Structure 1
């Protein structure tokens, strides 16, 4: 993540709008291939991704909440959208996104936005890593000019045949060559003196130019009006309601995590989380009414906006206007872009979500947190996004409870008849059997003296407190040194 810090104009001072115009063009050039690529990867018409990008700019861009972050279709939702369309049909997508948007508005009005910041980072990283892994796996197929299978299991099972096709067929070799060229140019461009121009755009243009000479499948973009559909409320059922909740929670989490990251990149006004959640909900409500893809705040476009020198929300509004003008005036330009180029860009996005370096760093610092991450990501790959995330949250809660109940009991003998017991940590009911087993094993009788030092206890719950008191009452020669600052119930 970039460490660039943008300097926003002081509040109340009239600013020159040209920096925002320039930043909006940069964001537009980054957003265009991603809007189309996310839609194609989700299994819906490319135009729906552009509609979501336009709404993210023209609607959410005007609303309060965050100043710098940009909203649109997100690579992190492609797996969820594809699974939902496969389960409920494309006609249900608008209804689901509409319901998710209304839920987001309600959560924002109820001031629940700030609670998303309390989710375990390991679960968040695991969710993103799982999504990234599934996204990369799926995009390997169009990268080799092949249709990707419907399920994750079929994608894994089809890898051997995919490798053979990629290395032996003309279309496979062409797709891999164009995809590798896209990734190489996008990676190396940032090292050139012209890195102010988006590397993703340069890579897409260069690879598309080479792709003109090769027989590859390409994007087809028509009129936006042809794909807009009205919401069909007759499709509402329990499965659709569950999908609404899943979309709302995942989109909200991704947007607010992005806001926290973007806030670290500039010194302007901080994001108001509840207000931003309402803005995202309004945007998804509009997208659902148009039958488009769901939206979130997206870190790639947001960081491009900050680094390009944006000062106000004008830049993100204008980027939506440029998207709309482009698809109205120049839709035929996109027909020159091979699907392999978009697949390569999404492989890059998925790899960033997977973030192996961050996973390795977590393993070195906290293996238990890393285990929660791997569990969450693994279950997302093996089952689905909701199941993996919920199990990850449960595992994080169990880990926290275990950490909170960590207790050290040390017995030191002084002479034959004197024992010193030092208790350190959190004395909760989870550790009560072990604590009582240690205390009851101490010798009892006349002349025996036991000193129980509880000054190192940070928390003493009622169960442990009563058990220690009752044990001391039954014994002779027990001295209890009570904790001074521990949280002990009366």
Structure 2
């Protein structure tokens, strides 16, 4: 693992600077103590990173759980009561891992996973625009499109342009330009620019900028536009930031409902993130999903016991890890230790980092996830890939992560059913002989009840005085519903002067009296051909 430290150490620094504001922001959005987000980030890096089999996946508090956490804290009567649900949720995830439920993630189409990555990239960009401009309006961080007050990121975009905080925007633009130049030019010029990550440089520059401009009338940056890490006065006050679960309410059924909800949602988000992070891993490592569920469960148990938020593997940090060149899970573990060291030793220094600098880092991450070229590529792959992809993107951007994934999966299933409907058979009109149309219909390898409509439509549309050759040579499975359709067609064929030539591996039968008799199966059973 330490063989790749030259790659993993710089990557861990990048992930640290990406994770720090996300941990604080998710805690804020969850209505939980800010320190709880940092705890989850530390546990996700050290505990989950150590137990996981993923080379590039990074775990921590997830934005997708924020709404669940916010509601649960209120319904359970306090944060200490909620922590019981986090611990129980972790135990349930361990059980999922033991039961080998990790295969669920493999049943999501590639187009949906790519749509998830793209949608998250767009959300990252939209969420960081207010920070980049130094905009204060709270509704600007809200992506919900249909709000009662009408305020959200989209509606506030133009208003931001007339309410810019000059200092935040200036250092944000400088940071963005440096990051682009660092990635596109400098990193290819000399080894030193690969070893020293661009995000680290812009963070240092941001701290210097804040220190120099503090008190300046035009370019000073207000505290609301800075990182805000709790600053303990001594060991006692530091330990006082930890919360502990109130196990006295463990028999409350509401706690168990929240626990199962956390376990299910966190497991699903983790498995999808695993699938997504494996896809963008240049080394194409495959993460053992059952082991990942065990690691996530252990992480949530530890996080809940010491006052942290629920943990999942998160694609934002994972993608930043990959983009920064990580080669092993050492990067994930080191980022956890960096979070721990920073909140213990240098919280005052961290609070001098402008949010617009971190926004510039995240804008680059978001753009790499949602490149315009990806939209073009998916469109060229055809509508079967494009429609589920764009449905997932739109669903995530305008609703939330889980709804968007569900919408993309639903559209993907509809596409599959439609293609199954279309691909159950094909007609081939050969010629006209003896006054009859000669038509060949070849059935697919597997024909199920999904194909009833298509086959019935084709059979009913056959003209009178037709010679039909029904080719079943490649067909290995016929659903009983299809057999019934063919049985009914025998009677219609006689009335319409349609001759049938049935071809299969069992031989050739002209004008069969019964399809069921031909297949030698009982009427109510599905028919398999060999």
Q: Is TM-score (shorter-chain normalized) higher than 0.5?
A: yes
What residue number does 2:202 align with? 203
Distance 1:203 1:425, change over 3 A: farther
Q: Distance in 2 between matches of 1:315 and 1:430?
A: 48
Which of 270, 289, 313 is equivalent to 1:296?
Answer: 313
What residue number does 1:435 align with? 455
Which of 96, 115, 118 is equivalent to 1:107?
Answer: 96
Which of 202, 206, 227 is equivalent to 1:219?
Answer: 227
Q: Distance in 2 between matches of 1:378 and 1:38?
A: 23
Q: Distance in 1 between matches of 2:274 and 2:228?
A: 29
Secondary structure in structure 2 of the residue aligned to 1:336? coil
CA offset at residue 338 of structure 1?
Answer: 0.9
Q: Distance in 1 between matches of 2:448 and 2:420?
A: 8
1:140-179 superposed matches below 5 A = 140-145=129-134, 146-149=136-139, 150=142, 152-153=144-145, 157=152, 159=154, 161-169=156-164, 171=165, 173-179=166-172
1:271 aligns with 2:291: no
Q: Distance in 2 between matches of 1:112 and 1:278?
A: 10
Distance 1:479 1:368, change over 3 A: same
What residue number does 1:229 align with? 243
1:253 aligns with 2:272: yes
CA offset at residue 385 of structure 1?
Answer: 2.6
CA offset at residue 277 of structure 1?
Answer: 2.2
CA offset at residue 400 of structure 1?
Answer: 1.4
**1:99-144, Cα deviation, whole Å (9 max, x unpaired):** 5433332221111213312211122222333333333222222222
CA offset at residue 32 of structure 1?
Answer: 2.2
C-alpha RMSD over aligned residues? 3.5
Total equivalences in the alignment: 459
Distance 1:229 1:484, change over 3 A: farther
Q: Distance in 2 between matches of 1:394 and 1:367?
A: 15
Q: Distance in 1 between matches of 2:382 and 2:476?
A: 22
Distance 1:399 1:315, change over 3 A: closer
What residue number does 2:436 align with? 418
Structure 2: give runs of 5+ residues left out of the alignment. Answer: 214-218, 233-237, 508-525
1:33 aligns with 2:50: no
Distance 1:240 1:62, change over 3 A: closer
What residue number does 1:4 align with? none
**1:134-174, Cα deviation, whole Å (9 max, x unpaired):** 332222222222243245235864645553344454x2x33
Which of 40, 45, 55 is equivalent to 1:57?
Answer: 45
Contact 1:141 1:148 in 2 (8 A): no
Contact 1:419 1:451 in 2 (8 A): no
Contact 2:24 2:34 in 1 (8 A): yes
What residue number does 1:42 align with? 26
Distance 1:451 1:335, change over 3 A: closer
Q: Distance in 1 between matches of 2:462 and 2:284?
A: 61
Contact 1:52 1:295 in 2 (8 A): no
Secondary structure in structure 1 of the residue aligned to 2:208? helix
Distance 1:28 1:391, change over 3 A: closer
What residue number does 2:56 align with? 69
Distance 1:148 1:356, change over 3 A: farther
1:281-430 superposed matches below 5 A = 281-293=297-309, 294-296=311-313, 298-300=317-319, 302-303=321-322, 307=325, 316-406=332-422, 407-424=425-442, 426=444, 427-430=447-450
TM-score by length of 2: 0.75
What residue number does 1:187 align with? 180
Distance 1:443 1:416, change over 3 A: farther
Contact 1:65 1:272 in 2 (8 A): yes
Secondary structure in structure 1 of the residue aligned to 2:486? helix
Contact 1:423 1:456 in 2 (8 A): no
Q: Distance in 1 between matches of 2:340 and 2:382?
A: 47
**1:335-360, Cα deviation, whole Å (9 max, x unpaired):** 11012222332333333333442232
Q: Distance in 1 between matches of 2:22 and 2:227?
A: 12
Contact 2:428 2:439 in 1 (8 A): yes
CA offset at residue 457 of structure 1?
Answer: 5.5
Contact 1:101 1:248 in 2 (8 A): no
Distance 1:349 1:152, change over 3 A: farther
Q: Distance in 2 between matches of 1:156 and 1:134?
A: 16
Higher Cα radius of gyration: 2
Which of 99, 113, 126 is equivalent to 2:115?
Answer: 126
CA offset at residue 189 of structure 1?
Answer: 0.8
TM-score by length of 1: 0.80
What residue number does 2:502 align with? 480
Secondary structure in structure 2 of the residue aligned to 1:337? coil
Distance 1:362 1:260, change over 3 A: closer
Distance 1:436 1:220, change over 3 A: closer
